[in-house]
Structure 1
C-alpha cells in the first residue's frame, strides 16, 4: 500500500557549520535532498513539512540545565569571536549551531507527531543526536533529538511505550544512557563492535525497571548484508515478542553503507529498503506509526541513495535498485 511520507526539515539545520575539515558538514543535507528530488516517483509520495524548533523546556526533559546553557554559551562565543568552539574532541559549535540544534530536535518531534497520526515520517535534520548524553556533547551530537521527541510526546500524554531502533554504524550510547532505567522505552542498537564510542556490548541490557529493555547487537567490521539482516531481524523479533510499542522511532544513520569513511559494514543502499520493510512488516497492530530521524552518514556520494531506499520503503514503493542483493531474502521468523 502506497503512503504519503512527511519529510520534516528546517532551513536552520544547514547553518550548523563545524568547519570544512569536519565529517559532519552542511553538504550532507544538500546531497540527501538532491537524491530525493531526483526520484520523481518518490518525490510525488513525499509531503514537505517545516519543523518547529524545540524550546528549552523540551531540551530540559533530557539534558541538564548546565549543559543546555553551555551549548548556548559556546554558540554565543563563536558568534562574538567569528570562529568555532570545541565542546569535546569531535564536537564543534559555530555561531548558528544552537539554533540548528533546536531545529533538529524540533524536526524529530515533528516527525514523531506525524507518526502518531498514522504516518511513516522522516526528519531530515542535523546535527545528529544519538551520542549526546544528558550532560555533555559527544560524537558530533549536541542534543539527543530522538530522546527529546520521545520525552515531549510522553510528557503530553500522547504516547507511552516507544521502541527505538538505532541502525547507525556506531552505538547510540547517549540514547542508551537516557533510557537505560526506563520501562517505557525499548532500545535496539545494531552497531560496529570494538569501535567508537566503546559501549554497546550485549551485557548492557538496561537496569532497574528498564532491565531487559536494551538490546545491543555489536557486529564485526566487514559484516555484510545477509548476516547483518539476520541479526537485525532476530533482535526485532525478540523485542516485539514481549514489548508492544505505540510508536517506533528509528535512529537512521547512513554510515552503515559500505565505503563510509566512519563506517565498517558492507551494506548497499538497497539493503536499507529491506531493513525498513522488515521493521514495517513486524509492527503490531497497536503501533500507530514510525518516525525515522537522520543520524550519521558521511560518504556524500552514497548517502543519498540510502535515504531514497528508506523513503521508498516508508512510502510503500519498491526499491529503485536492481538486481537483488544477497541480503534481499528475508530471514525466517520464529514460529
Structure 2
C-alpha cells in the first residue's frame, strides 16, 4: 500500500474548505509512518485534455497557483492509478479535489477531475478497458458522471442514503452488478462522516467499504475528495486504508 503525496499539497491556494490550512497536515499526523509515501509528477496539459476541453484548461491556467496545484493533484491520481495496475493499492492524498469538474466546467472546490483523468489515461494506454468509479463523498460527483456519460465501459456509482446500512448495501449491489470490470477507482470523500457535514457514517464504515472493494481482487486506487472536519479526517483516512491494505 502506497500513499501518493507531495509537500505542496499543504499550500493554501484558495479560501474554500478544501484548501484550508491544516487539512492535509491532519491526515499526515494520523498516517505517521504506517505507509510508504511516493511523490507524483504534475500531470501534463495533454493528460488534462483526456477529459476536459481546451477552453476549460485555459480558464484554470489563468489562476496560476491553483493551476500548478491542480496539475499536481491530477498527477497524484495518475501515479496512484499506475501503482494500482502494477499490483499495489494506492491512495492519493491530494488537493484540490476533482469530482465536480466536468468536461467544460467546475465548481465545489474542484478544478480538474483527478480520478477521471487517471482512469482515462489507463484506458488510453491499454492497461484496462472497463472501470468502476465508486464515490462515497457526501456530494454527487456530477463532473465525473458527465465525463463518462454514455460510456458503458466506465461506470460511476455514488453511495448515498439516509442510513449507514443503506450506503453499504448500495456498494454491495453496485459491485454485484459490475462483476466484469477490470479496475476500481475511488473518489474518497469523507464529509459524510457523523462528525462532518453529512453526519451519517462512522469511522469503521470506511474500513468496511474498503474491505468490500479489496475483496473484488482487482486493482484499486483512491483519491481524496471531500472531508472538512480536521478532527476526524485523518482517522477516517487511516480507517479506509486499513481496509484496503
Give the TM-score band, short-chain normalised: over 0.9
**Residue number among 25, 30, 35 corresponding to 1:30 in the alignment:** 25
Q: Which residue of 2 aligns with 1:187?
A: 156
State the alpha-carbon separation in 2 of the partners of residues 7 and 26 from structure 1. 20
**Residue number among 150, 154, 173 corresponding to 1:234 in the alignment:** 173
Q: Which residue of 1 aligns with 2:228?
A: 298
CA offsets 1:58-94 (integer angstroms, 9 cap, x no match): 001111111111111133xxxxxxxxxxxxxxxxxxx
**Residue number among 93, 98, 102 corresponding to 1:124 in the alignment:** 93
State the alpha-carbon separation in 2 of the partners of residues 299 and 35 from structure 1. 14
- Decide whether aligned partners of structure 1 residues 144 and 59 sit closer, same or farther in structure 2, where only a CA change above 3 A counts: same
Q: Which residue of 1 aligns with 2:239?
A: 309
Structure in which a larger fraction of residues adopt helix: 2
Whether 1:146 aligns to 2:141 is no
State the alpha-carbon separation in 1 of the partners of residues 156 and 106 from structure 2. 20
Runs (4+) of structure 1 moved beyond 3 Å?
none
State the alpha-carbon separation in 1 of the partners of residues 231 and 198 from structure 2. 16
CA offsets 1:84-115 (integer angstroms, 9 cap, x no match): xxxxxxxxxxxx21111000000000000000
Runs of 5+ unmatched residues, structure 2 = none
Please state how far the C-alpha of 1:265 moved relative to its aligned partner. Answer: 4.0
Matches within 5 A, 1:67-216: 67-75=56-64, 96-191=65-160
State the alpha-carbon separation in 2 of the partners of residues 49 and 271 from structure 1. 27
Number of positions where the alignment pairs a residue of Structure 1 with one of Structure 2: 244
Please state how far the C-alpha of 1:153 moved relative to its aligned partner. Answer: 1.4
Asked if the contact 2:213/2:244 (under 8 Å) is kept, the reply is no
Mean CA deviation greater in 230-239 or 113-122: 230-239
Mean CA deviation greater in 165-174 or 225-234: 225-234
Q: Secondary structure of 1:272's match?
A: helix
Q: Which residue of 1 aligns with 2:185?
A: 249
State the alpha-carbon separation in 2 of the partners of residues 110 and 6 from structure 1. 10
Over the residues paired in the alignment, what is the CA RMSD in angstroms? 1.4
Asked if the contact 1:250/1:293 (under 8 Å) is kept, the reply is yes
**Residue number among 259, 267, 271 corresponding to 2:195 in the alignment:** 259
Q: Which residue of 1 aligns with 2:55?
A: 66
State the alpha-carbon separation in 2 of the partners of residues 164 and 60 from structure 1. 19
Mean CA deviation greater in 155-164 or 128-137: 155-164
Q: Which residue of 2 aligns with 1:327?
A: none
State the alpha-carbon separation in 1 of the partners of residues 68 and 43 from structure 2. 9
Structure number with greater Rg is 1
Please state how far the C-alpha of 1:16 moved relative to its aligned partner. Answer: 4.5
Q: Which has the higher contact order (CA 8 A, sep 6+)?
A: 2
State the alpha-carbon separation in 1 of the partners of residues 125 and 8 from structure 2. 26
Q: Which residue of 2 aligns with 1:216?
A: none
Asked if the contact 1:105/1:143 (under 8 Å) is kept, the reply is yes
State the alpha-carbon separation in 1 of the partners of residues 6 and 24 from structure 2. 11
Q: Secondary structure of 1:61's match?
A: coil
